[in-house]
Structure 1
């Protein structure tokens, strides 16, 4: 990547002689044209450290704000290059705030308020919570002439994130595969040492069965995760009713919830339809309902709702519980593969950490999004936002 940056850099510096003869107050047209062609973010800074030209991504990547460079390392490099000439290359990590997520009314809601929030969504004056993500950048800083310094930024975040996900995936799968292997070894050792001790054999066999069940759960979720990443194209043949999916999932989990005195309530607009695969939608909803049951106290309730968005373009599906909630610092990671937060309990010990990753990918392949609001002690609300189905001629239903 740095080699490509350097090639573009040399092309840009070829404009230096022309710019020396141009008006020092502005960049000439050819320099502006060349900068606009660069396949990366560019920033031009004058001798007063004011940004006179910046690619929009320089703002979203957290390098520029209000026509000024806010990253101290970049500003320092700009000043050094302006004074000494040459160029500087370095790596930089910044943080970008992602989309604000809707937050239900502050404070512990009453039963009536909770039901109302689940049915109608948040008020416009309610607070929002945000999450952030890191950006990994390659930066080159160099002087165009005595007045202007240019900063070229290549965002390599996706490559690094992919590498991190791959490494984490391999590590987690390897750890999960070790458990049944270790259980099998213990059972074999018991049989070799004291095969007549039936109690030890039964204990080790039971542990092996639990480990195998855990492994089967993981493999099943991995297959679901792969399936959830297959793109869904809207057609006349894959229109499904949203409430039918909610009711099917609720019915499937009623008995399990009833064992702990938990009620599953379903409410919403019966006419809402989306384009999608019913199996995937039900899988995503099932993961949300299972989590809601797992992290709720006995005798609580889980609410599933579906309603159209204010603009009539999408459907908003919410699964709300009154459980332990999720700490704010963990909310930005809950959709990661194999991530398990610090709110585990006796009901979640067999979890894999793939359920919410499946939910996220089902949302994305259906051209929608997934988000969470949560507060420790108040519960969690997971939201799926999906496009409504289209009629012929692209008219909304």
Structure 2
């Protein structure tokens, strides 16, 4: 009997110890899960997919402002580095949202990355995401701000450029009235009036042309063109001016290359480069023009022996209305739009333009265009 009670007591004690052990395991598991949730917080359902699909920047912050999820845009903008926000301004906004619970929207100018020199204009919005997280969304407005600045500068430059010939036309018209009885003076003022009117017409036409080019992303109806014919046409338009200043235009060998493009635009681009070379060359000097093909790339080169371009201005010469020598440009009738037009013409043809220059020794401009893959049309002889 006594042995039976001992067996029952041992069994009860075993069950009690086992139940306690199971309880300890359950409690330990609950604590472990809670700790894991704190260390590895889960993003609310659906947020992962939304952030992965965002083209702009999106970031989810935990209660300690650690980044637990970010979109590719946030990484490419440099907003997130090592799972942390890279800008104190964004951290301050996140703390404010967490403190007040209210969403905020701000326009910020931040560096692109923690050590970047380039700045970016961002429109950011932060809001609570559930009870624990903060969601940050950022839209890069840098390009929009740049275009606004370009537009403002363009309008200001147009106003300035138009003011000079318009004022000159008004003054010359008034002078003509006072000199009505002096035929020589009338003729002189009339000639100057014609010159200013032509300059005004040329400036207006180039502004219209540049606006069309900037609105045109690609060629609408490209044709298969002979590059040698384009170069010859661009040169012919400058023969009279070059001969008047005793400037020799030397033409290289024929390239026999073909290009897909717009003939009028390409001739205009070559013409503008040759005209610049002639205008900035001394009387009696030489301008070289040539075209060649290398590895499927057509290169049209215009070289002069003129005054050259300072190194600091090389990055700006394709800007609208930019002139290296303001006085000389105005004396030769330059509008400051020629090289900008060349750049846009070349770009919509899938090419680029490069420049080399040394002050006092001259400049070389090179248009690079993709060679047409179609064979050149066969030469046709006279019909027998």
What is the TM-score normalised by the length of structure 1? Answer: 0.65
Larger mean Cα displacement after TM superposition, 371-380 or 360-369: 371-380
2:144 equivalent in structure 1? 159
> Is 2:337 the partner of 1:354?
yes
Distance 1:153 1:303 in 2: 52
8 Å contact 1:295–1:345 — kept in the other structure? Answer: no
Deviates more, 1:166-175 or 1:146-155: 146-155
Number of aligned pairs? Answer: 328
- CA 1:58/1:344 → structure 2, altered by over 3 Å: closer, same or farther? farther
- After superposition, the Cα gap between the structure-2 partners of 1:30 and 1:385, relative to the gap in structure 1 and judged at 3 Å, is farther
Higher relative contact order (CA closer than 8 Å, sequence separation 6+): 1
Matched, 1:316 2:332: no
Counterpart residue number, 1:342: 324
Partner SS state of residue 340, structure 2 = helix
| Cα shift at 1:277 | 1.7
Q: Structure 1, residues 171-203: CA drift from partner, whole Å, max 9, x if none?
A: 444444444543343345446656445565455
Q: What corresponds to 2:23 in structure 1?
A: none
Q: Does residue 232 in structure 1 map to residue 219 in structure 2?
A: yes
Structure 1 stretch displaced more, 137-146 or 340-349: 137-146
Structure 1 residues 360 and 218: CA distance shift in structure 2, 3 A: same
Moved more, 27-36 or 272-281: 27-36
Distance 1:355 1:342 in 2: 13
Q: Which protein has the larger Cα radius of gyration, Structure 1 or Structure 2?
A: 2
CA distance in 2, matches of 1:41, 1:141: 12
- Equivalent of residue 107 in structure 2, options 85, 90, 103: 90
**Which residue number in structure 2 is paired with residue 3 of structure 1?**
none
Contact 1:320 1:382 in 2 (8 A): yes
Q: Give secondary structure in 1 for the equivalent of 2:265.
A: helix
SS across alignment from 2:369? strand
Is 1:295 aligned with 2:280? Answer: yes
1:44-59 alignment runs, 5 A limit? 53=70, 55=72, 59=76
Tell me the distance in 2 between the aligned counterparts of 1:68 and 1:341.
Answer: 48
Question: Residues 201-228 of structure 1, C-alpha deviation per residue, up to 9 Å, x if partnerless?
Answer: 4554343222212112113323443554
Residues 322 and 188 (structure 1 numbering): CA distance in 2 closer, same or farther, change over 3 Å?
A: closer
Contact 2:221 2:262 survives alignment (8 Å)? no
| Cα deviations by residue, 1:369-393 (Å, 9 ceiling, x for unpaired) | 334344444433333232222339x
Mind listing any 5+ residue stretches in structure 2 that lack a counterpart? 1-35, 99-103, 376-384
Counterpart mapping for 1:138-287 below 5 A: 138-140=123-125, 152-190=137-175, 195-196=180-181, 201-226=186-211, 228=213, 230=216, 231-233=218-220, 238-267=223-252, 270-287=255-272
Q: Distance in 2 between matches of 1:352 and 1:95?
A: 36
Root-mean-square deviation over aligned CA pairs: 4.3
Q: TM-score, normalised by structure 2?
A: 0.66
Give the CA deviation at 1:359.
Answer: 1.0
The match for 2:56 among 40, 44, 50 is: 40
The answer for the alignment partner of 2:6 in structure 1 is: none
Q: 1:90 to 1:189 in 2, by over 3 A?
A: same
* SS at 2:148 equivalent: helix
Quick one: distance in 2 between partners of 1:332 and 1:387? Answer: 23
* 8 A Cα contact 2:74 2:80, kept in partner: no
Superposition deviation, residue 355 in structure 1: 1.0
**Secondary structure of 2:238 counterpart:** helix
Distance 1:211 1:160 in 2: 36
Asked whether the equivalents of residues 239 and 275 of structure 1 are also in contact (C-alpha less than 8 Å), the reply is yes
Secondary structure of the 1:138 match is strand
Corresponding residue for residue 80 of structure 1: 92
Q: Secondary structure at the match of 1:92?
A: strand
SS at match of 2:202: helix
Work out the CA distance in 2 between the residues paired with 1:68 and 1:267: 60
Give yes or no for contact 2:79–2:87 (8 Å, CA) kept in 1: no
- When residues 251 and 186 of structure 1 are mapped into structure 2, their CA distance, relative to the original with a 3 A threshold, is closer
Contact 2:319 2:340 in 1 (8 A): yes
More moved, 39-48 vs 224-233: 39-48
For structure 1, the residue ranges without an aligned partner over 5 or more in a row are 1-19, 97-131, 393-397
Q: Give distance in 2, aligned partners of 1:139 and 1:248.
A: 53
Following TM superposition, by how much is the alpha carbon of 1:140 offset from its aligned partner in structure 2, in angstroms?
4.2
How far is 1:283 from its partner? 0.6
